[in-house]
Amino acid sequence: MLVQVDHLMPHGFLFIFLFSSIISTNIIHACNQTDRSSLLSFILSLSSPPLNWTSLDCCHWEGISCNHDGWVTDVDLPSKGLKGGNFPLSLGNLTHLRYLNLSHNSLYGSLDQSTFFSSLNNLEILDLSYNLLSGELPDSLPSRNMIRMVDLSSNHFYGVIPSSFFQEARNLTSFSVSNNTFSGSIPSTICLHSSPLIKLLDFSLNKFSGNISPGLGQCLQLQVFHAGYNNLSGLLPEDIYNATTLEQIALPANSLYGAMSDRIVNLTILTILDLNSNGFSGMLPANIGKLSNLKLMLLYANKLEGLLPSSLMNCTKLIELSLRFNNFEGDISAINFSRFSQLSKLDLMNNNFTGMLPTSLYSCKSLKAIRLSINHLKGQIQPEILSLKYLSFLSLGFNSLTNVTGAMKILMRCESLVFLSLTSSFVGEDMPSDEGIVEFDGFQKLRLLDLSHCEFSGQIPVWLSKLKKLEFLNLFHNRITGSIPSWLGTLPRLFYLDLSFNQISGEFPKELCRLPMLASEQTAAQLDRGYLELPMFASIPLILAKDTNYNFLSYAHALQYNYLSHLAPSIFLYNNSISGSIPTEIGRLQLLHVLYLGVNNFSGSIPDQISNLKNLEILDVSVNHFSGKLPASLASLNFLKSFNVSYNNLEGPIPRSTQLQSFNASVFEGNPKLCGAPLPNECRTINGVGGDNKNHQDEDQNGHQIPWFYISVLLGFIIGFWGVFGPLMVKKTWRYACFQALGKVQDRLITVWMTRMQRRLRN
Ligand SMILES: *[C@@H]1O[C@H](CO)[C@@H](O)[C@H](O)[C@H]1NC(C)=O
Ligand SMILES: *[C@@H]1O[C@H](CO)[C@@H](O)[C@H](O)[C@H]1NC(C)=O
Ligand SMILES: *[C@@H]1O[C@H](CO)[C@@H](O)[C@H](O)[C@H]1NC(C)=O
Ligand SMILES: *[C@@H]1O[C@H](CO)[C@@H](O)[C@H](O)[C@H]1NC(C)=O
Ligand SMILES: *[C@@H]1O[C@H](CO)[C@@H](O)[C@H](O)[C@H]1NC(C)=O
Ligand SMILES: *[C@@H]1O[C@H](CO)[C@@H](O)[C@H](O)[C@H]1NC(C)=O
Ligand SMILES: *[C@@H]1O[C@H](CO)[C@@H](O)[C@H](O)[C@H]1NC(C)=O
């Protein structure tokens, strides 16, 4: 090779080539054989597909780098599908290892038993994040004064972080253990005792508890302090305000309390202040405007109160300001929002703000989401709102706004509007009629329209038929008269329709059974899965979750949704005056999860086709005039979690299935001619007259049926068990995981919110 080159290349090139080949020759023969065998035994200990580690020179192996003496310095193998349990043992022999990145693999086992940590005397960077490692931490970090960065996040580590852990780790700048199960107190004295140079500390998503002890004020370079989603309690230690290098403080979802100190304004380069879902109280510091670099101010779900300080307007770099679920008060129109030129999300939901809808908001040209619901605001929506070109989420419910017709004529020209909730605002006005709206192609991006609890009179307006993107329509609790228009069935995206608590008459239009999102899997697959700019809060009886086991009328928790697509496809017509029978075409709505037809004037029999709704979880036809038998095919609805046919004129036996018999007898009551489990009255043959005779007949029949009966029950049990409990079990695990993360926040929010909403609704 060299000889060939010698002949072909001019001398300048030859020199360069020789020079570089001398270096590479050096490396080739320098791969340290001890390190090579350590690496090989590491890889042999894994059960994953082998890496391409075949050549002699381990320094050229994938993910491996060496120093000039052939010692392995870097092992960089993130996301390589590595699986295995005792990796640390052999890697511990790589005495010159400087950089170890095994993140995003499936390594399990624990670190505490091994000598791995104590022998890596040169390790500077350790990234084991996103694995399945567990156990407690060893007594101290590897390589003491060399270590600079440690990331153990998203594993299954537990236990306390030993006080000796950071001993002599003087050059540690970044330490993350988020998303594990660590407990005990967070090592907030880290700068005092060992690592004064720390820049990033992330303890979030663990079970740390107790107070945050003073100490962080000694951190001369601390930029990021995250400890959200733990059980931390008590006050914020005063000395944290000495850490003037702080750029991010995120402590959401803990039990911290007390007032926010005025000294927080010392942290002038702070960009993120996230204290949401705690128990902070008192007023915002009057000088909060000195935090002029703040981009995110997330103080929602606390007990903060008082006026918003006027200096807040000096936080001109704010992108998101979320103060929902607090007790702030004062005239909102006194706040000049016009300086918030970067503001993208403003959430003031559930406070006690008064005054007119602030017109200065309309000059925040970056706004994408505004939520002012559950306050005491007055006034009308002004045409200037149209200058908010990116406005996609607008929620103004539970206020005392007026002129809904004017509002709709303006808002339909908001080109980006996706989410519009005016629930319990504009109360008692007329339903915005078609005049001036129906000819216009407005609301072309609207996916959610909530006009519930408005007590609007009038009919369902035709302009709704033009909302081609509409997925969610809530007209719950108005004074709507007239019938359900057949064009509703043509709305191409609609999958959630609530017309409950109105005075709607006429029949169930069979055209409604064509709703493409509920009838066609192909259409449903095109559902917009984009997230909402702000989470939506839904509670019964407004909304029902696809993934809850709660009964529509009995669960008292609202849920938080970041995606509309997570709502259960539903039709609610509860409490109207709808008559006639259920069209047999109902069987087309195969993707429907919830059908609520209770408290109407329906008559006729319950059509057999209803059993085509294989996804149905909730079926309520109570308090109607349905007659005839329950279709036997109902037994095949495997997902049914809630069922109510009470107070009709149904007759005959209740079909046998694991579901139907599992419901409380009360859901069948008020149908004197229904019989069989779970009702106490047994089924008797219709023609039987004399007691003896009948008993005899029954015995005969039973005698015949016994084998079949047992077989079908057995089969029903097996199929039913996995059909019903299988999915439930999956869902439960999933829900459990979600609730672990969200539950704490939600429970608190929802209790406050529900109480307030109930109070408002009563008034
Ligand atoms: C394995 O590595 C050698 C050299 O290191 C290379 O020549 C070979 O193509 C690699 N094989 C695969 C399958 O990547
Ligand atoms: C480890 O590798 C992942 C994936 O390439 C990377 O995102 C991460 O920053 C690396 N960790 C360190 C500490 O360099
Ligand atoms: C630790 O950091 C100091 C200064 O930042 C540096 O002089 C020293 O070499 C570092 N120690 C190691 C072992 O890297
Ligand atoms: C806003 O900042 C300016 C300049 O720093 C200052 O003069 C003014 O007083 C501040 N406004 C408020 C309300 O704090
Ligand atoms: C209702 O709003 C429209 C549009 O802003 C406006 O033209 C009309 O005057 C308003 N009506 C009343 C009664 O204020
Ligand atoms: C039906 O709605 C009316 C009017 O909203 C209400 O008075 C009545 O109590 C409701 N009935 C049921 C059973 O919910
Ligand atoms: C069934 O419907 C009746 C009438 O609407 C209602 O009173 C009852 O609470 C319902 N039962 C269940 C379990 O939902």
- Greatest alpha-carbon pair distance for the chain in Å reads 120
Closest CA to 551 of 622, 636, 499: 622
Ligand 4: distance of its center to the CA of 314 in Å?
Answer: 6
List Cα–Cα distances, 439 to 406, 464, 491, in angstroms. Answer: 15, 11, 17
Residue 703, pLDDT above cutoff 80: no
Residue with tokens 């919110």: 753
Binned at pLDDT 50, 70 and 90, residue 759 comes out as low
Ligand 2: distance of its center to the CA of 630 in Å?
Answer: 61
Among the residue ranges 86-100, 194-208, 560-574, 622-636, the one predicted with the least confidence is 86-100
Question: So what's the pLDDT on residue 16?
Answer: 36
Q: Which ligand is nearest to the CA of 437?
A: 5
- Helix, strand, or coil (residue 729): helix
Residue 540, pLDDT above cutoff 90: no
Does residue 505 or residue 542 have the better pLDDT? Answer: 505
Residue 335, pLDDT above cutoff 70: yes
Ligand 5: distance of its center to the CA of 403 in Å?
Answer: 6
Closest CA to 458 of 441, 437, 472: 437
Question: So what's the pLDDT on residue 756?
Answer: 52
Residue 674, pLDDT above cutoff 80: yes
Residue 705, pLDDT above cutoff 70: no
b/e code 306-316 from CB counts within 10 Å (16+ = b): ebbbebbbbbe
Question: So what's the pLDDT on residue 549?
Answer: 34
Question: So what's the pLDDT on residue 588?
Answer: 94
Q: Averaged over 734-754, what is the pLDDT?
A: 38
Residues 262 and 286 sit within 8 Å (Cβ to Cβ): yes
Ligand 1: distance of its center to the CA of 62 in Å?
Answer: 9
Query: Which among 74, 76, 80, 101 is the best mutation to test ligand 2's pocket, defined by most ligand atoms within 8 Å of the CB?
Result: 101
Binned at pLDDT 50, 70 and 90, residue 707 comes out as very low
Binned at pLDDT 50, 70 and 90, residue 537 comes out as confident
| Nearest Cα residue to atom 4 of ligand 6 | 501
Domains within the chain, CATH numbers bracketed: 482-683 (3.80.10.10)
Task: Give residue-wise pLDDT tens across range 94-152.
Answer: 889 999 999 999 998 888 766 777 788 889 999 999 999 999 998 888 777 789 999 99
Binned at pLDDT 50, 70 and 90, residue 17 comes out as very low
Residue 123 to residue 144: CA distance in whole angstroms:
9
| Nearest Cα residue to atom 3 of ligand 5 | 406
Binned at pLDDT 50, 70 and 90, residue 542 comes out as very low
Question: So what's the pLDDT on residue 742?
Answer: 37
Task: Give residue-wise pLDDT tens across range 607-655.
Answer: 999 999 999 999 999 999 999 999 989 888 888 888 999 999 999 999 9
Ligand 1: distance of its center to the CA of 363 in Å?
Answer: 60
Ligand 3: distance of its center to the CA of 310 in Å?
Answer: 46
Residue 586 to residue 512: CA distance in whole angstroms:
8
Q: Averaged over 410-415, what is the pLDDT?
A: 93
Q: Which ligand is nearest to the CA of 401?
A: 5
Question: So what's the pLDDT on residue 268?
Answer: 95
Residue 283, pLDDT above cutoff 70: yes
Q: What is the pTM of this model?
A: 0.83
Instruction: Name the token pair of 390.
Output: 């990116």
Question: So what's the pLDDT on residue 299?
Answer: 97
Residue 167, pLDDT above cutoff 50: yes
Binned at pLDDT 50, 70 and 90, residue 763 comes out as very low
| Nearest Cα residue to atom 6 of ligand 5 | 406
Atom number of ligand 2 nearest to Cα 101? 1
Residue 629 to residue 610: CA distance in whole angstroms:
13
**Bridge partners for 109 per DSSP:** 133
Binned at pLDDT 50, 70 and 90, residue 87 comes out as low
Residue 386 to residue 662: CA distance in whole angstroms:
54
| Any ligand 3 atom below 6 A from CB of 592 | no
> What is the residue type of 253?
A
Binned at pLDDT 50, 70 and 90, residue 25 comes out as very low
Binned at pLDDT 50, 70 and 90, residue 760 comes out as low
Question: Kind and range of the H or E element at 42?
Answer: helix 33-44
Q: Averaged over 171-192, what is the pLDDT?
A: 94
Ligand 7: distance of its center to the CA of 560 in Å?
Answer: 26
Atom number of ligand 4 nearest to Cα 289? 14
Residue 13, pLDDT above cutoff 90: no
Q: Averaged over 489-496, what is the pLDDT?
A: 95
Task: Give residue-wise pLDDT tens across range 442-455.
Answer: 899 999 999 998 99
Question: Kind and range of the H or E element at 497?
Answer: strand 496-498
Binned at pLDDT 50, 70 and 90, residue 440 comes out as confident
Among the residue ranges 211-220, 592-601, 639-648, 697-706, the one predicted with the least confidence is 697-706
Atom number of ligand 6 nearest to Cα 502? 5
Ligand 7: distance of its center to the CA of 50 in Å?
Answer: 61
Residue 490, pLDDT above cutoff 90: yes
| Nearest Cα residue to atom 12 of ligand 1 | 52
- Helix, strand, or coil (residue 225): strand
Q: Averaged over 167-174, what is the pLDDT?
A: 91
Q: What mean pLDDT, rounded, does the chain reach? A: 82
Instruction: Name the token pair of 9.
Output: 């290349």
Task: Give residue-wise pLDDT tens across range 37-53.
Answer: 888 888 888 877 778 88
| Nearest Cα residue to atom 3 of ligand 4 | 314
Atom number of ligand 4 nearest to Cα 310? 13
Question: So what's the pLDDT on residue 558?
Answer: 61
| Nearest Cα residue to atom 14 of ligand 3 | 146
Task: Give residue-wise pLDDT tens across range 52-69.
Answer: 888 888 898 999 999 998
Among the residue ranges 12-16, 116-120, 366-370, the one predicted with the least confidence is 12-16
> What is the residue type of 298?
L
| Any ligand 1 atom below 6 A from CB of 52 | yes
| Nearest Cα residue to atom 5 of ligand 7 | 622
Ligand 6: distance of its center to the CA of 763 in Å?
Answer: 17
Does residue 696 or residue 134 have the better pLDDT? Answer: 134
Atom number of ligand 3 nearest to Cα 145? 13
